[in-house]
Chains A and B, each alone.
Chain A
Amino acid sequence: MDTKSGLHQSEDRLELYALGRLSGPEVEQIEEHLLMCHSCVDRLEGIGAFATAVREDLKAHVDPPRRGWAAWRLPSFALPAVFATALLTLGVFWTGTATRLPPSASLQLTAMRGDMQQVAPARETDLTLTDPPSTGAPFRLEVVDASGAGVWSGVGLAAKIHQRLSPGDYFVRLFSSQGQLLHEYGFHVN
């Protein structure tokens, strides 16, 4: 078969692709290349594994703030004042910024087929199941995100999730006391 020459993708472009940072036309171009270039697919697998693992690690492990020399030269009475100022600033920031989100959102999940229920993002989310099965109590609830990762679990027919849920789909699984999965409900955080 006749052939002509082309160029492999650079490391930088493969990495940006793996991180999802290329524009639409760039994605199209690189994916067409990857479809026929086994070598670049192999390289992308390694690059993607590194980029993803490092990103997750850096997200999970934040370096503590550096203790500079200035902290040691402050007079002792200044520390409480600094602390009080920081608290005040934090309070102003909290009331000015964080309260843009409502403190809590409530959602009643019903066993009916249809569109997934929508809920606005909030600092806490309350979930209540309105139509539990007649048998199987005490029930256990488990809330997972769209990738199946656990978000919350507990006993009963209600969940109070003390964290802000990222936008996306979530699933609530209802288990019987014997661990049998009885129902799964879905909801979407906007």
Chain B
Amino acid sequence: MTAQLTEPRSTRPHGAMTAEMDRTDAFQIPDWTQLVSRIHDGDPAAMEELYGIFGKGIRYFLLRNLGADELDDKVHDCFVIVAQAIQNGELRDPARLMGFVRTVVKRQIAATIEAAVTRRRTQVDYQDTLFTLTDWKDDPERTLLNRQRAEIARRVMQGISRRDREILRRFYVEEQPQEKICEEMGLSYNQFRLLKSRAKARFGELGKRVASGLGLTFKKTL
């Protein structure tokens, strides 16, 4: 990957990069008041709509925070709590349904983590509770995916200049604000975004090749 950075002629990036970097096109927000009213009235189709709207998002947050273990059950638990609250008239402001769902998911995550921490606090005799061992086992698929991503990242970083790595290091590792990086490294805002965008594109490209089984081999690390 080349490390050449060119200043776009306009002050804003254009073309496909704009679509990728600034995705601000509109999407449709449901009428929460109507949906809540239908669920409150026991309309089964409304429950399906609720699941269709929030199912993927709830699954994402639970998976990200708790892992794949019993994921379907945890998603279902969240929906039961939300539906019961609506049917019992506990949701006072239907327009805040999103915030309520978020709170329910957060509480479920916190409760699950608290239960896990309590379970393994200080000393646990595994002769009595052997089943809890599974909590610590690595997920082989996730381990492989992480190893592949690490190798791809290594290749992407090897393909850019030392200066570009320094820029990315400042942003991703040292957590410097982009304004500070641009000022100290003599970059425009667009150059900074272009560098990140190119590295991401290369990362995605190599990831697709790995996913389709093409042309990448990885060092054995075990």
A joins B in a complex: yes
Measuring CB to CB, which residues of chain A are less than 8 angstroms from any residue of chain B?
1-12, 19, 21, 28, 31-32, 34-41, 43-47, 49-59, 61, 63, 66, 109-117, 144, 148, 169, 171, 181-186
- A55: chain B residues within 8 A (beta carbon): 172-173
Contact status A56-B153, CB under 8 Å = yes
A5 and B203 form a contact (CB under 8 A): no
Are A57 and B154 in touch, CB under 8 angstroms? yes
Cα of A61 to Cα of B127 in the assembled complex, Å = 42
With A50-B204, A54-B168 already in contact, the answer to whether A35 and B58 are too (CB < 8 A) is yes
A6:B126 contact, CB within 8 angstroms: no
B31 interfacial contact with A, CB 8 Å: yes
Decide yes or no: A57 and B57 within 8 Å by CB, A51-B172, A111-B123 being known contacts.
Answer: no
Chain B interface, DSSP helix/strand/loop, else mixed: helix
A-B contact pairs, 22 of them (CB 8 A): A1-B31, A5-B28, A6-B28, A6-B29, A7-B25, A9-B23, A12-B21, A32-B98, A35-B101, A39-B23, A41-B57, A43-B23, A46-B204, A50-B204, A54-B156, A54-B157, A58-B168, A109-B123, A113-B122, A148-B138, A171-B120, A183-B124
Beta-carbon contact of A35 and B57 below 8 Å: yes
The chain B residue sitting closest to A186, CB to CB, is B122
CA distance in complex: A43, B22 (Å): 12
Chain B hits for A185, CB < 8 A: 122-123
Report A3 CB to chain B, min CB distance, Å: 4
Q: A32-B98, A51-B172, A184-B124 are in contact. List 20 more A-B contacts (CB 8 A).
A: A5-B27, A5-B28, A6-B27, A6-B29, A8-B27, A19-B175, A36-B57, A40-B23, A49-B149, A50-B203, A54-B157, A54-B168, A58-B168, A58-B172, A112-B123, A113-B121, A113-B123, A114-B121, A115-B121, A148-B138
Residue B40 at the chain A interface, CB threshold 8 Å: no
Say yes or no for B26: interface residue by CB 8 A criterion: yes
Cross-chain contact B102 with A10 (CB below 8 angstroms): no
A149 nearest CB neighbor, chain B only: B138
Determine, out of B48-56, B85-93, B214-222, the stretch whose residues face the partner at the interface.
Answer: B48-56
Is B122 a contact of A4 with CB atoms below 8 Å?
Answer: no
Query: Which residues of B sit under 8 angstroms from A35, Cβ to Cβ?
Result: 54, 57-58, 61, 98, 101-102, 105
Question: Across the interface, do B61 and A8 meet the contact criterion of CB distance under 8 Å?
Answer: no
B60 with A10: CB separation less than 8 A? no
Which A residues are in CB contact (< 8 Å) with B27?
A: 5-8, 37, 39
- Which residues of B are in contact with A by a Cβ distance under 8 Å? 20-31, 34-35, 49, 53-54, 56-58, 60-61, 98-99, 101-102, 105, 117, 120-127, 133, 136, 138, 149-150, 152-154, 156-157, 162, 165-166, 168-169, 172-173, 175, 193, 199-200, 203-204, 207
CB distance from A32 to the nearest CB of B (A): 4
Asked if A186 and B162 make an inter-chain contact with CB atoms under 8 angstroms apart, the answer reads: no
Query: Which B residue's beta carbon lies closest to that of A169?
Result: B117
Whether the Cβ atoms of A10 and B24 lie closer than 8 Å is yes
Docked-complex contact B152 and A53, CB < 8 angstroms: yes
Contact A53 B30 (CB under 8 A): no
- Please pick, from A6, A57, A116, A117, the residue contacting B150 in the complex, using a CB distance under 8 A: A57
- B residues less than 8 Å from A8 (CB atoms): 23-27
Contact B23–A50 (Cβ < 8 Å): no
A59: chain B residues within 8 A (beta carbon): 173
- Residues from chain A with Cβ under 8 Å of B175 in the complex: 19, 21
Residue numbers in B under 8 Å from A112 (CB-CB): 122-123
Residue ID in chain A nearest B200 by CB atoms: A50
A54 to B199, CA, bound (A): 9
Give the chain B neighbours of A1 by CB distance below 8 A.
30-31, 34-35, 49
Q: In angstroms, how far is the closest chain A Cβ from the Cβ of B38?
A: 9
Q: Which residue of A lies closest to B125 (CB)?
A: A183
Contacts of A46 in B (CB 8 A): 200, 204
Q: Taking the nearest CB of chain B, how far is it from the CB of A150, in angstroms?
A: 11
Q: Give the CA-CA distance A7 to B23 in the complex, in Å.
A: 8
